[in-house]
Amino acid sequence: MNTVMFQLMALVLSFIGTALIYLTRKHQRVLRQPLPTPAALMGWSLLLAALLSWLQLLTTTAAIFTWLFTAISLCACIPFITLISKKERSS
């Protein structure tokens, strides 16, 4: 049970951290205006907390790999949220 909670927490922290970093960029299309720069700092700190959570569960190399994999996968997937929201508006 404890490991499941750490895994879930690490995934949620990774998602929120990556989303905050994405939403501060000028090329994002989810919000009308990008979030201010301190939100990116909060995103980076959440990603660091996610890394610490992965380090509690896995060996060092496996934790870093898993952390990088989830962050990069989320960076690739989060921009597609705009496609879903545009599809809902046109229906």
Quote the pLDDT of residue 9: 93
d(CA 7, CA 56): 10
pLDDT, tens digit (0-9, with 9 covering 90-100), for 19-64: 999 999 998 888 889 999 999 999 999 999 999 999 999 999 999 9
pLDDT mean over 6-28: 93
Structure tokens at 38: 């301190």
Quote the pLDDT of residue 80: 86
d(CA 56, CA 78): 26
